[in-house]
Amino acid sequence: MGEDLRLRVAETEDLTPSVRRFVLVDPAGGPLPGYRSGAHVAVSTPAGHRRSYSLVEPGSRAPQRYVLCVRRDVAGRGGSVSMHDDVAVGDELAVSEPANAFPLRRARRYLFIAGGIGITPVRSMVGELRARGGAQVTVLYLTRSPGETAFLDEFATDGTVLHHSSLHGRLDLWPYLAEPDDDARVYCCGPTELVQEVLALTVHWRPSRVHVEDFAGVDALGGRRTPFTAVWVPTGARVPVGADATLLAALAGAGIAVDASCASGTCGTCRLRLLSGEAEHRDLVLTEQERSAFVMPCVSRAVSEELVVGPAGPVDAAGPPRPAFGGGAAVH
């Protein structure tokens, strides 16, 4: 991962009482590194959190701005509150170059299912597809109420199925997913329950046709937390990982820097090669196949007393393909 960009906040706008839109630009007015629809950036908040947010505008080779939306989550880990309370127009933020763990792939038909702030990567992809033309695009946008619906005016007039649970209860997704379609792709982004429901309702689909992004992420220090020892292969260093530390933090404390972004097992940035030992995988990125060869140290721990790990290296050359099914990035 390259060095962070320093970007100026050119504009903010409250889209709903809890969702704020931020427009970030190069202070010198130049173009920004390009990205593909569905990409995200990692932002360092003024309070010191590192959070990933989807870019809500269609992909571009040389965009003049990055636009992201942040839902204020008072029950969250503090990143969204800092973005809302501490960031003002004119401030500069450290922002990563875009990465994409939720890429738009080719298909004749698309079904997008967005829950709440999960609309952000979907908006980017749908914008690109509609501008390009040729594909059939269906969008289901599920929110609690009209007042909590970001981009309501836009999606109310473009054929999107808007569904508000406080008015109409849960939307039955089965009619949309009952018939598997090898010429279609399903993209779902939203809270864990929605993602799990879509995965359960598409078990009869070819896994490669279903793409999900769970923005809740994983609580790195939740559940069982047994101390273990990590052995860092390049130097042979033995690093104790205490019950209150993540593997990532323990490595950092020992002077071993591993690139990371979401810190919640969703973006895929911190991937390490697993050479020996049994991992307790908690991430939402690795496939079953990949789990024998890799581990995500921001959330995963060890079942065995020792885990032997090293840099992942070029993943495509060294391991199984990246997941088409599952894997996500953005914490909104």
218 binds ligand FES (CB under 6 A): no
- Going 241 to 244 to 245 to 246, the CA torsion angle's sign is positive
Between 150 and 309, whose beta carbon lies closer to ligand FES? 309
Q: Please list the alpha-helical segments (H only) found in the chain.
A: 79-86, 119-132, 152-156, 165-168, 174-177, 192-201, 247-253, 315-318
* Rounded Cα gap, residues 152 and 56, in angstroms: 14
| Pick from 74, 79, 14: nearest CA to 53 | 79
Q: Which of 267, 302, 307, 309 binds ligand FES (CB under 6 A)?
A: 267
Between 23 and 263, whose beta carbon lies closer to ligand FES? 263
230 binds ligand FES (CB under 6 A): no
Buried b (16+ CB within 10 A) or exposed e, 231-253: bbeeeeeebebeeebbbbbbbbe
269 binds ligand FES (CB under 6 A): yes
* Rounded Cα gap, residues 52 and 265, in angstroms: 11
* Rounded Cα gap, residues 304 and 148, in angstroms: 45
- Which range of residues in 76-84, 176-184, 257-265, 313-321 is near ligand FES by CB under 6 A? 257-265
247 binds ligand FES (CB under 6 A): no
The mark string for 126-165 relative to ligand FES (x by CB under 6 A, - otherwise) is: ----------------------------------------
Between 35 and 294, whose beta carbon lies closer to ligand FES? 294
Between 21 and 281, whose beta carbon lies closer to ligand FES? 281
* Rounded Cα gap, residues 57 and 68, in angstroms: 8
261 binds ligand FES (CB under 6 A): yes
Residue pair 50/260 in contact (Cβ under 8 Å)? The answer is yes
260 binds ligand FES (CB under 6 A): yes
Between 140 and 331, whose beta carbon lies closer to ligand FES? 331
Between 60 and 261, whose beta carbon lies closer to ligand FES? 261
The mark string for 282-301 relative to ligand FES (x by CB under 6 A, - otherwise) is: -x-x----------x-x---
Contact positions vs ligand FES (CB under 6 A):
260-263, 265-270, 283, 285, 296, 298
